[in-house]
Amino acid sequence: MRGVILDSDSFDRGDLDTAALDNALDHWTHHRSTMPDEVPKRLEGYEVVVTNKVVIDATAMESSALRLIVVAATGTNNIDLAAAARRGIAVCNVRDYASAAVSQHVFSLVLALVTHLGDYTRAVGQGRWQQSKVFCMLDYPIRELAGLTLGIIGYGNLGRSVAQIAQGFQMQVLICARPGSNAVPDGRVSLDTLLETADVISLHCPLSDATRNLIGKAQLQRMKSDAILINTARGGIVNEDDLAAALRQGNIGGAGIDVLTEEPPGADHPLLATNIPNLLVSPHNAWGSIQSRQRLTDEIADLIRSYREGVPRNCCPPD
């Protein structure tokens, strides 16, 4: 079998052990990145394709000999799953490889926001500490996480990992009922209750019709004026124009964002403006520890081997 990787730069920067992946197929072709109009041509003659974020739609599949699509991520919204099913193409994704890295990043953002770490380090760089008449600077408010309430929306492996770390900080944890459902099971709270109660809200749900623009103007207005919003899930779950407005108006206390609707974003993206207070934006790299990316690479190889042995795993049927 012949395989092609469409966007290897999105997960391998030459710092991984790729022996298992190299040996999973008889022949590989690697592309560091692939533009949309290049996809159909680059699929020709290959039975297996690995893609992280490159879109593979029905048109791209038409003239291909594909038998297996491996998504080098958990989200599969870049694959036309219905078209793949019609053509008998298996689609498999990689699951639970980045929980440690993403959970760590969530609290990197939270801690930076509650301590105003960026503001203080900039103040030192500007010489303001050096000019102080006392030994320290306390120009920006510093809060402790102990006693604060963390609200989690999306309680899969990532949500559970974040909850566990929060308990280590002595935070109270609230779990939101499944978005789009009217039922509120025991041990969960409604979205409105979570928005009104939580001091920190962390998103870990997939992007779907039920979660698109889940957090918009109305939801931001329900939040506490000093609450912090963290999104390491998917762009599109938070309405970005509404978030920018809420931060400028002081309706919420801050936000840490790792994902945007457009990636990479244009220079005019609403959350890249320089006049938005208490906003941290990282470049969708919460998941990108070297350990996480090694697990991802090894699992891609294992998914291919499982398929070739007739026992495919992590299959993604159409909705």
Residues annotated as catalytic are 234, 263, 284
Q: Distance between CA 284 and CA 39 in Å, rounded?
A: 23
In DSSP notation, 214-263 reads -B-HHHHHHS-TT-EEEE-S-TTSB-HHHHHHHHHTTSSSEEEE---SSS
Contacts of 261 (CB under 8 A, 6+ apart): 235, 236, 240
* Cα–Cα distance list, 13 to 42, 150, 297 (Å): 21, 35, 12
DSSP state for residue 53 in the 8-state scheme? S
Cβ partners under 8 Å of residue 3, min gap 6: 24, 25, 27, 28, 29, 46, 47, 48, 49, 50, 304
Q: C-alpha distances in angstroms, 27 versus 3, 78, 251? A: 6, 25, 55
**Which stretches of 76-170 are DSSP H helices?**
81-86, 99-115, 117-125, 157-168
Instruction: Report which residue type is found at 28.
Output: W
Cβ atoms 309, 299 nearer than 8 A: no
* E strands in the chain: 2-5, 27-30, 48-51, 68-71, 90-93, 149-153, 172-175, 200-203, 228-231, 254-257, 279-281
Phi, psi of 202 (to 5 degrees): -120, 130
3-state helix, strand, coil in the chain (%, to 5): 35, 15, 50
